[in-house]
Chain A
């Protein structure tokens, strides 16, 4: 799939923002007044900024309100609802902390749960795609949720939660890669089933329908060189998980914490780039691009 910057920024930053709101909702840190204002501002900038970025890839962003109508079948529509309801609830909860110095625990608890539900709906937009076998697996929502919780804990200064969560996320990511590399072949879709001509012999794409490129190839048949992907995976693991875990294990200082956050965000962006760039859509089979054993 095409790794569009708008979707990478959207999933990464809104995931971090809602992860931060989760911890703030649970009262961790239990700050009020100006400190709470700073925490909530960062969380809202990330969450809302991410959501706004996602509208940049729309052909008609001015019609975005229509996306609230089809929650019965569409995960994107469900995400629209959960994100807006979460942001409104947490705004009320945050206002209580910032302006009145009071914490309404129940409101925070509901907001925290809804924050994770929002991240889950985001993950399900990708997980539901039967056409992208790499995504259609339980590790996709598990990874989105642990990354959001871990990154959120890191930003909210909850080091004792951030450490194990980042370690779990790193492990899940490894699992997702190891399993994901085989999933297109395991899906049973190949050029033989795509054309339905496999029983007649070996099928090979002989001539494409068009001389130039098209929307399908640009959007869904993005191919990354294996060598680069392997390097990026290592970079993502080191910056996303390794370095932050080491920095957080050191005696606490704001400098180390800031570096841990920057390193994690960098790693996360690399992870999300790979999440899209490495995802193989079965339509590539019609173009002979996804034959077994080839990139």
Chain B
């Protein structure tokens, strides 16, 4: 049903630390790998080795330059996938009921057998989290690795989304954002986690942690003391030369 649940028992989602992300795209690769081999239709590529490659991805890493009013610009790597919104506009527009939000854990999923591939849900998403697979003709999106997180055939440390498991920088965190005492909620609280495009009214579950402010070093020039003029008053032969040359046209006096 495309009616959104009034509330969900848990709010599973990701917390992405923009301070620690190094922009290596490992999460993109592991996501593509896992989700091509498991849940639903594989994520296809078109012309993968040709001149105009294109393909379906559920997670993509942008990079932004931030130029503050003072000081140097900084680069922020910015992974983006489905935010599993509480008011998911992609779900309510679906004409077939293929898109739904689970009441037990808040994950937004697509039942690919019911998807007609109209693309309306991708239009409704402000974040570009949904991509229509060009080969399968069905809508693909992040499942929060629903086939990993509850999978008892996997060792316990692997029961988290592939992107989180693989991140070498520890920039991605998975947990229940509906529980204020969970590690992810605490992290959001402590670091001032924020929503993307809050003005769209989607109430995303996933949160982003801002880059930490950089230290500003006091300016220390260890050579300066040695370069200061030794004497201000000049006498003798050099004193006469200095005064004479300075008095010539183009001199500093």
Contacts and interface: CB of A to CB of B under 8 A. Distances in A.
Given A75-B93, A203-B65, A209-B28, A59 B136 contact: yes
Interface stretch (B75-83, B144-152, B154-162): B75-83
Interface residues of A, number: 59
B66 A202 contact: yes
A226 interface: no
B28, B119, B125, B198: residue with the most chain A Cβ atoms closer than 10 Å: B119
Given A75-B93, A204-B67, A59 B132 contact: yes
Contact of B2 (A68, A73, A130, A189): A73
B95 A130 contact: no
B198 A70 contact: no
Contact of A195 (B78, B92, B97): B78
Contacts of B56: 215
A66 B55 CA distance: 27
Contacts of A286: 62, 80, 127-128
Interface in B164-221: 194-201, 208, 210-211
Interface stretch (B110-118, B222-230, B232-240, B242-250): B110-118
B126 A283 contact: yes
Interface size of B as a range: 35 or more
Interface string B44-76: 000000001111110011111111110001111
A197 B62 contact: no
Contacts of A75: 93
Interface of B: 1-3, 18, 25, 28, 52-57, 60-69, 73-76, 78, 80, 89, 91-98, 114-120, 122-128, 131-134, 136-139, 194-201, 208, 210-211
Given A63-B116, A196-B194, A212-B53, 18 more contacts: A58-B118, A59-B137, A67-B95, A69-B95, A74-B92, A131-B126, A193-B197, A193-B198, A194-B196, A200-B66, A205-B64, A205-B65, A207-B62, A209-B60, A209-B61, A210-B60, A211-B53, A219-B123
